[in-house]
Chain A
Amino acid sequence: MMYNFYVERDSILHRLDPRVKIIASILGIASMILFNSPTMLFLLFVSISLSLAFLGKITFREQLRVLKPLFPLMIITIAIWPFILEPASFGLFIGFGYALRLASMAMITFGLLITTSQRELILGFIKLKMPYEIGLTLTIALRYIPTLFGLAQKITDAQKSRGLELEKGSFLTRLKNTIPILIPLIISAIKTAHELSIALESRAFGANKRRTFLYTIKMKSRDYFALIVVLFLFGLALYLRYQLNIGYIKLY
């Protein structure tokens, strides 16, 4: 399983300051919730897809690959709404919009992850005043997922070789059979955490309140320009929605 989506490319989105990209993503998701008219959501979806393709050099094929796991959720969403709203065709229309809303949200987070390296992303969050410890914890957790996953597999194999059967019996027996896998897994996680906290402590973690960074990020004039564009677009979205009442359909 991949836990790092970042792909090194030379594009405008790749070069942009992570802070601007984070703010843009948050505002992008917020504007997705702002509108519920399928026409508007469709326009937003298309513009996100196009800007990822042209500003971020993310091909449409890559975009489709991200959306694929979301298809079941989107289909369910489309299928539910004709039963809720009258007439059914109107419900279908609304459901289609909501499915697009989900797709757009996925594209926004994906766009952020594929154009920003993990280090830059976390640095960006920290510079936006997220506590450093949260960023560190997140990185460590991410680092240990594959390790624990492999360990779980190893323990399962070891217990199977001792005669543990996971694919037999009622649900209750199957669930009970996970005990000999979970206990060693959790105990080794706890032991790792102990060692890790000693390692952190011995490197004087938390000794200094103010941290410095080996690699740091700096806003350049093009980053400020991009930020202004993003804020302007969000302002425009708010204006359309609340002053002109465009893009919102009263459902009930």
Chain B
Amino acid sequence: MKARDVAFSALFAALTAVGAQIAIPLGPVPFTLQVLVIFLSALILGARLGFLSQFIYVLMGAIGLPVFARFSGGFVHIYGPTGGYIIAFPIAAFLIGFIAEKREGLVWHLTACLLGLTVIYLLGWLRLGFYMGGDFVKAFKLGVAPFVVFDVIKAFLAVVIGDKVKKAVKI
């Protein structure tokens, strides 16, 4: 890793930790900006650094630092029912970054984000299903269905923000 890699992945890992704490109040379930920042790190940094930043983020959480949503942290959250989503973050970031590097244009970037989101939901859903003793229908109702619409909106938002940021500063 070069100095630049270290600096950028560290800052974006920190940014993800901050994004996970910014909650938009709406009903009982707080909607955090975690996924939005994951999309953005991948879009802005590309596959390699996007992956690295998310890997560091997950690592921080794994060793117990309170970086996950609602200031939680610890290996429990990676092993626990919602662990699938967390494990998927670096993978999704890599995938999004990979596509965004190869293809220009907002439509491609949006497709990349939606694919990344699919990976997050797929792993999250599988883990939740296994945790609930193989009840994948219930896992879908609890862990996927209520959030999909909002996360798709976040993907749109990420593409818009990513585009504006990239125009404003050189990476």
Residues of A whose CB lies within 8 Å of any CB of B are 1-3, 5, 29, 33, 69-70, 73, 76-77, 80-81, 84-85, 102, 105-106, 108-110, 112-113, 121, 131, 133-134, 136-138, 140-142, 144-145, 147-149, 152, 166-167, 171-172, 174-176, 178-179, 181-183, 185-187, 189-194, 196-198, 200-201, 205-206, 251-252
**C-alpha gap A3/B71 in the complex (Å):** 10
Q: Decide if A189 touches B15 in the complex (CB within 8 Å).
A: yes
Contact with A along B52-94 (1 / 0, CB 8 A): 1000110110011111001110111001110000000000000
Contacts of B96 in A (CB 8 A): none
Contacts of A190 in B (CB 8 A): 8, 11, 44, 165, 169, 171
B111 beta carbon closer than 8 Å to chain A: no
Residues of B whose CB lies within 8 Å of any CB of A are 1-15, 17-18, 21-22, 24-26, 31, 33, 36, 40, 44, 52, 56-57, 59-60, 63-67, 70-72, 74-76, 79-81, 132-135, 150, 153-154, 157, 160-161, 164-165, 168-169, 171
Option from A70, A149, A152 in Cβ contact (under 8 Å) with B76: A70
Q: Decide if B8 touches A197 in the complex (CB within 8 Å).
A: yes
7 extra A-B contacts, CB within 8 A, seeds A105-B74, A190-B169, A196-B10: A80-B133, A149-B18, A171-B24, A179-B157, A186-B44, A197-B2, A205-B6
Q: SS class of chain B's interface: helix, strand, loop or mixed? A: helix
**C-alpha gap A175/B149 in the complex (Å):** 13
Q: Decide if A113 touches B63 in the complex (CB within 8 Å).
A: yes
Q: Decide if B165 touches A187 in the complex (CB within 8 Å).
A: yes
Q: Decide if B81 touches A84 in the complex (CB within 8 Å).
A: no
Contacts of B13 in A (CB 8 A): 137-138, 141
Q: Decide if A109 touches B63 in the complex (CB within 8 Å).
A: yes
Q: Decide if A189 touches B12 in the complex (CB within 8 Å).
A: yes
Given the interface pairs A149-B21, A193-B8, the reply to whether A175 lies near B15 with Cβ below 8 Å is no
Q: Decide if A178 touches B22 in the complex (CB within 8 Å).
A: yes
Option from A145, A179, A196 in Cβ contact (under 8 Å) with B17: A145
Q: Decide if B66 touches A33 in the complex (CB within 8 Å).
A: no
Q: Decide if B33 touches A186 in the complex (CB within 8 Å).
A: no
Nearest CB of chain B from residue A73's CB, rounded to whole Å: 6
Contacts of B67 in A (CB 8 A): 145
Question: Can you give 29 A-B contacts (C-beta < 8 A)?
Answer: A2-B66, A3-B65, A3-B66, A69-B70, A84-B133, A105-B74, A106-B74, A108-B75, A109-B75, A133-B1, A137-B52, A138-B13, A140-B11, A141-B11, A171-B31, A174-B24, A175-B24, A176-B157, A182-B33, A182-B161, A183-B161, A187-B168, A190-B11, A191-B169, A193-B11, A193-B12, A197-B3, A197-B8, A252-B133
Contacts of B135 in A (CB 8 A): 84
Given the interface pairs A141-B11, A172-B153, the reply to whether A179 lies near B18 with Cβ below 8 Å is no
Contacts of B168 in A (CB 8 A): 183, 187
Given the interface pairs A193-B8, A194-B7, A200-B3, the reply to whether A145 lies near B161 with Cβ below 8 Å is no
Given the interface pairs A185-B15, A190-B171, the reply to whether A141 lies near B80 with Cβ below 8 Å is no
Q: Decide if B65 touches A200 in the complex (CB within 8 Å).
A: no
Option from A176, A187, A197 in Cβ contact (under 8 Å) with B7: A197
Q: Decide if A136 touches B6 in the complex (CB within 8 Å).
A: yes
Q: Decide if A171 touches B26 in the complex (CB within 8 Å).
A: yes
Option from B18, B72, B161 in Cβ contact (under 8 Å) with A148: B18
Nearest CB of chain A from residue B11's CB, rounded to whole Å: 4
Option from B3, B64, B133, B171 in Cβ contact (under 8 Å) with A205: B3
**C-alpha gap A176/B2 in the complex (Å):** 36
Closest to A131 in B: B1
